[in-house]
Amino acid sequence: MQNVLQYLPQLLGAAFKYTIPIAVISFVIGIVIALITALIRISNKRGVMLVVKAIFRFYVWIFRTTPLLVQLFIVYFGLPYLKIAGIAPDGIKLVPFTAGILTFSLNTGAYCSETIRAAIIAIPKGQWEAASTLGMTRRQALQRIILPQALRTSVPPLANSFISLVKDTSLAASITIIELFEVSQQIAAANFQPLLMYSLVALIYAVFCTVLTFIQGYLEKITSRYTIA
């Protein structure tokens, strides 16, 4: 046991250098993508907007119906072969970190957009009507009345997505990112203690995710102040 714990600093180093930054950055970008996607998909505008909506629907469909690992492979190993004359004649080559962030952001964005869209749709019609009768525009109603309420119901499922994302970053090992899981694999290969090494790394993920559930609890509390009668 003693000799496994000596690797802890090395593992945590990888976690703080890659695992956590990839998860946090991807989640922040993913939420922005999700919000934009959700708002476009609930839009009731016609004309060009119908084409835009179709594009975003396609985006959500493709990321929800294909494995994350395959998505990572396409972005990192596949895109270098996508040669676009004038824009990327030599293919799109991304460093592993960027490829990881891009894929995780888009993947999380697709899932979270459905969460946010569902939360918006679930707000009673009467809230829209009350905002309308005050003379608010659709945008004002969304910003002031609908989204603040939708946000509250979104917190638990969004926290779920974040927790999944933290664990999914272990897949980044497959595109040569030296993150937490990759480091544990390297150590296990050298010290022949796979059971202890992988158990230790599992424990580290569990600790991180547990901290996140506490943050979720706090967020739920502050966003639902108004329901405490």
Partner 1 sequence: MLKLTNINKTFGDHHALKDINVTFNEHATTVILGPSGSGKSTLLRSLNFLEQPESGLYDFDGTILDLNKPVADKDIFRIRRETEMVFQNYNLFPHLTIVKNITEGPVQVLKQNKATATEKAHELLAKVGLAGNENKFPSQLSGGQAQRVAIARSLAMDPKYILLDEPTSALDPELELEVLKVLVEIAKEKRSMIIVTHNMAFAQKIADKIIFVENGEILFDGSKETFFHSDNQRINDFISAMTFTDI
Q: Which residues bind partner 1 (CB under 8 A)?
A: 124, 126-127, 129-130, 132-137, 140, 144-145, 148-149, 152, 225-229
Phi/psi of residue 88, each to 5°? -135, 75
- Give the closest residue to 157 by CA, choosing from 108, 101, 86: 108
The Cα 224–Cα 41 span in angstroms is 26
Nearest approach, Cβ of residue 151 and partner 1 (Å): 9
Dist. CA 129–CA 40, nearest whole Å: 20
Asked if residues 179 and 119 have their Cβ atoms less than 8 Å apart, the reply is no
Q: For residue 208, what is the enclosing H or E element?
A: helix 194-223
Q: Which is nearer to partner 1, 28 or 134 (CB)?
A: 134
Alpha-carbon distance of 24 to 72, in angstroms, equals 17
Q: Shortest Cβ distance from residue 67 to partner 1 (Å)? A: 38
Query: Do residues 158 and 112 touch, judged by C-beta distance below 8 A?
Result: yes
Residue 84 is encoded by which pair of tokens?
């676009």
Identify which of residues 9 and 126 has a Cβ nearer to partner 1 in the complex: 126
Shortest Cβ distance from residue 148 to partner 1 (Å)? Answer: 5
Q: Considering beta carbons, is residue 149 or 176 the nearer one to partner 1?
A: 149
CA 3 to chain CA centroid, nearest Å: 35
Kindly state the smallest distance separating residue 51's Cβ from partner 1, in Å: 22
> Minimum distance from CB of 130 to partner 1 (Å)?
4
Nearer residue to partner 1 within complex by CB, 127 or 186 = 127
CA 227 from chain center: how many Å? 28
Three-state secondary structure call for residue 6: coil
Tokens of 6: 């000596």
Q: How far is the CB of 28 from partner 1 (least distance, A)?
A: 24
Residue nearer to partner 1 on the CB measure, 210 or 224:
224
Query: Which C-beta is closer to partner 1: that of 87 or that of 222?
Result: 222
